Structure 1
């Protein structure tokens, strides 16, 4: 990526920005529209922001090139093409509304390119925005042409626990769980669903969050039903909990819907017993900064393997909760003092395309002899699990290869501000692990998020005509019908192949014979191969 040659159009001033620096690349390989070739995609994020607040908003540039085996073996130079997503360019230059994208690249075997993840948003006055924050940008033509965005709300509210004296434990905040990570990948399973693993933090209505209350969750976009889902990953909501939609750290025992245990002492007053987690490769939340959060921003690292032919996939991340408890409260947690020298590697498995997941395996320098004396950091799994056979009880066995960094001193030296006097480095290691995939996955909680693709007609009420629009997540069959209040078909406005993105149809208030219909309430219904949706409209003559 030759950054000095990349100019981004500023939609607010009409002038291009020329100081962009696109770094932090992700690479994927997919099909090419040209016969006997493949296409490589590189996406890089802009480290230069032009927002009104000056806060970072990393719009992306995509470079793609076609290649063949012969071209690679002959050392031929590739011909690169470049494109951007105009909406992200607009976010990077917005003088008012602030949006920061955290997305990653995925491609399928049909030429669809996806930029998938989430974003944070603030209004011009600095208050948090409640706009939908899970996104997928789709280009259906091998990265060439138009990008369409579909979004849905991903954050969800959680009740602030009420103490016996009537106060709420977390001050007077309104609480919710929301995205709090940026170093994830995305994979597409054999069922056409995109997965991306991330960290969610217990947050407040004042744009703050609690470092000790962070969970690993999986966001899923189903390209067939055009819907988003949020999946509890670790920790998970307990089996039998039909009250809470997701895991609640102070309500993990029956009866559900109540605080498990409330404690009291003169120093702290009332406080609930809360299960804490720290799904990060370091224990000190204030590492690299005088303010909490810098370590988590730089260090979060959660990865998924692609799905193999048997539907097997693996999730890998790290956790430092044992180290945090053993370092800060050794008298209260003597069983964790041995774990204070480094993080754990967490590995969860799925044999059904990520529909259900096992509880995680834990690898660490205490319980795993092969890691004795090591500080395993920055774990990256291989692209796919290798199927190697079945166990005696019929469960599949997969071989996971992964790299990790054996750090000589726990923590990064190059990220400001370093806490060590010198960079003493470390060693890159490769490890293979044969894993038996469990026969029955543990309880998995997936909350679907409705993604409406049929829009409200405009104008409404109308006379003599109105426009009906619908957004298609990919090319496919669609039918748009109008019905009267008796449920009788009035007219079919569209019946054919609709293209990716926005489609619009005008209804002039006539039936199938071209005769004008009377004033009143009508219903219009969109039907696709995997989705149906109905809305109302009013004709007033």
Structure 2
């Protein structure tokens, strides 16, 4: 990362209405200089503007491999229709490290009972899968696959790192099975998107219980 800069990566808004005991988890590969009481560099994770984690003050933090992190964010996310996660990195005027790398970002929580839960039928609840786009990185077109265990309403869209919705890729009723769409690197108005990191989010009819998010890199 550059010296004397403030960098951030922000998720799209995630609907957690009717969900409790919500937890945030992800894999990180982070390298940042010690904060020295927030005088030098620091990394933070915020949920709706609230700090849930920050890098240590007294020592540099340099991951040697992927590191799993999980946080209880129920105080900010439970029954909240709009939850936004933000990764921040502040740097001073000297020394540069690798910064944030994030993967396997997800929310988990306890949702309302389904019809299967109430009936006690013991059937396997429906699942929804969102696969890694190919190729990745890409220029200008990439393919995105998703699968549905049962027919239903879905919404698949591309977001930028500020959480702005750029492009709707699929929306409406889809049958069960595998599906494939392409993003050609343009927004809903047809304007080309700039090089950078983007997220694609798949949401099912049940909202937060069936929301999958992955990231991709457009390189022009």
Q: Which category of TM-score, normalised to the shorter sequence, fits these structures?
A: 0.3 to 0.5
More strand by share: 2
* TM-score, length-scaled by structure 2: 0.44
* TM-score, length-scaled by structure 1: 0.18
Higher normalized contact order (CA 8 Å, seq sep 6+, divided by chain length):
2
* Greater C-alpha radius of gyration: 1
